[in-house]
Chain A
Amino acid sequence: MNSNSHSTRWNTTAPSRTRQVCGDLALAQHRMYGRRLCERLNVLVIGTYQHLSAAARLGSGASVRFFASTFPCSVRREQRVVWLCIALFFAPLLAFIAAAYFEPKWIYALLPPEAQAQMDAMYGQETMDDFVRDKFGSSFAMFGFYIINNVSIHFRIFASGVLLGAGAVYGLGYQGIFIGAMFGYVHTSGNLHRLYTFCASHSSFELLGFILGAAAGVRIGLALVHPGRLPRVAAMREAGKRALPVLLGSTMMLIAAAAIEGFWSGSSVPALMKHTAGILGWVIFTVYFIFAGRRTADET
């Protein structure tokens, strides 16, 4: 109550006080009233300025607008980088799955024996098609693990993209190669039905999320390599502004992926439903990124 009335009083008098202290600072600087006084007024002006320029509140309208137009438009604006990252990820992934049929020794060379044993335990021929993670607590533990593991990897791939884009290219290629090798391994000698039933539902969210996060990082890294008409520092700043919506949206996609992977993919939902959900996910995201927000003014 007390603090409330205090802040109300502050807010009604803030404009006049700001003008007052700005006037004082201008006068003191002009007449050179000594360093000490000028610094004191400088700190006061910075304080009032900081108070007046408080961060804008995040309303629900903002988040709807973000997903309806800002996010897909930003992805389209960066589509060259996004296509590059799609190629960087899917080329090794598909190559290693294909290797299962042509040169399986590539896969055996890449996956250490422990990883092979682990894949056998999870997706080997003898494993059952059903999923036994129906206890809520266990699903929640997996959800927490997927969040901390996947979203951290996602953040790191983005952040290392700032280093001339090299880190994101490496991280994305690494993920593509190893996921490809693991899938390829199951293709050579495993229970494919079990693997794809588990991965189908969250695949679109997770893979596209990783790719878009990496694209946001590469965008910033490329600004340093190829700044165009801007000075390099300004180019980085502009790239940061353009990459931020892509990064935020892709982070949301990965959080959704972790929820699906934790609570749905491992549950006892019929396989047909999981496959349908997976295909729907890819179709919806494709349509979303191509068409969403085209009619709004966000597109430039």
Chain B
Amino acid sequence: MAVPKLDTLQSIELAEGVQILLRPAGPLPRAWALLADMLLVAVFVVVEFLIIMLVSQIVGIMAGVGVWLLLVFMTYWGYFVLFEVLRKGQTPGKKMMGLRVVCTSGERVGWGASFLRNLVRFGDMMPLLPQWQLWVLAVGFYFFGVASCLITQRFQRLGDLVADTVVVYVREEFLDVTAALRASVTPSAPPMVLTREEQQAFIQFSERASTWSDSRKMEMIEPLAPLLGAGGHEGVVRALAMGMWLRES
């Protein structure tokens, strides 16, 4: 029987026979990354305009306009693709937020996948902001993108679904919160043999306990009360002690 997953980690088995875990990023950090990228695109367009103004003194204003239009086109549609392929899946905004685009197989994104996911971005953007439906710099509400992110298990927008990609966190999650626990809880062995997954659950509970409120911790421990021999606050302390023991053994 398939056990419903506790987290959003995506486990992928490589040809080398090991499992890697990808941590998909949710809509909010991606929105911040997008905002930074959009600002940067705007900066690029303005800088290109200024350079072309200087150059067109030499080559003539009409040729200058042509070059500028080409540059704006390439910036708007090519910015994401070029950065994602050449900078290992990271646009500057994603780099800032510690995100990266990878294929769902864990591989690097190629030209085809990146091109697809960034063109479909326009579909994700819909509905568009009325005053921004200009021929180039369209900006939208990202209604379909966010809806798709919330429906799918890996927070994939439509472009990710079509291109078979996923946006993941680059760095590991550093949660060194056990130092404070170590002073207040004395480790104790669990009363029975636990499977690997159960052990992991206890360890992760102890590591992340300080990020939850007391009532939330009690709520999480509630189903385990018979096993721990106590519920409520005492149950939480016992669960933490078992987690600490498992972690250090």
Contacts and interface: CB of A to CB of B under 8 A. Distances in A.
Contact of A240 (B14, B116, B204): B116
A288 interface: no
A29 B3 CA distance: 20
Interface residues of B, number: 65
Interface stretch (B159-167, B185-193, B221-229, B230-238): B159-167
B69 A53 contact: no
Interface stretch (B25-33, B34-42, B101-109): B101-109
Given A35-B204, A141-B62, A148-B136, A46 B120 contact: no
A238 B107 CA distance: 18
B79 to A, nearest CB: 14
B95 interface: no
Contacts of B204: 35
Contact of B110 (A25, A42, A56): A56
Contacts of B212: none
Nearest to A56: B110
Nearest to A26: B18
Residue among B22, B70, B116, B171 facing the most chain A CB atoms (10 A cut-off): B116
Contact of A152 (B21, B61, B136): B136
Nearest to A150: B135
Contacts of A247: 115-116, 119
A46 B106 contact: yes
A45 B18 contact: yes
Given A159-B121, A167-B123, A141 B63 contact: yes
Residue among B19, B66, B73 facing the most chain A CB atoms (10 A cut-off): B66
Which label, helix, strand, loop or mixed, suits the secondary structure of the A interface?
Answer: helix
B216 interface: no
B122 interface: yes
Interface string B156-197: 001001111000001111101000000000000000000010
Contacts of B21: 39, 42
A121 B20 CA distance: 65
B203 to A, nearest CB: 6
B46 to A, nearest CB: 16
Nearest to B199: A32
A169 interface: no
Nearest to A55: B110
A239 B163 CA distance: 9
Nearest to A244: B112
B143 to A, nearest CB: 10
B68 interface: yes
Interface string A75-95: 000000000000000000000
18 contacts: A22-B14, A22-B16, A35-B203, A45-B14, A55-B110, A137-B60, A137-B63, A142-B66, A144-B67, A145-B66, A155-B77, A156-B138, A159-B123, A161-B123, A220-B120, A236-B158, A244-B112, A244-B115
Interface of B: 14, 16-22, 59-63, 65-70, 72-73, 76-77, 85, 88-89, 102, 106-112, 115-116, 119-123, 126, 135-136, 138, 144, 152, 158, 161-164, 170-174, 176, 196, 199-200, 203-204, 207, 247
Q: Which 3 pairs across A and B sit closest by C-beta, in order of nearness? A: A144-B69, A144-B66, A39-B172
Interface of A: 18-19, 22-23, 25-26, 29, 32, 34-36, 39-40, 42-43, 45-46, 49-50, 53-56, 58, 135-138, 140-145, 147-149, 151-153, 155-156, 158-163, 167, 220, 233, 236-237, 239-240, 243-244, 247-248
Given A141-B63, A147-B70, A159-B122, 4 more contacts: A29-B18, A137-B60, A151-B73, A159-B120
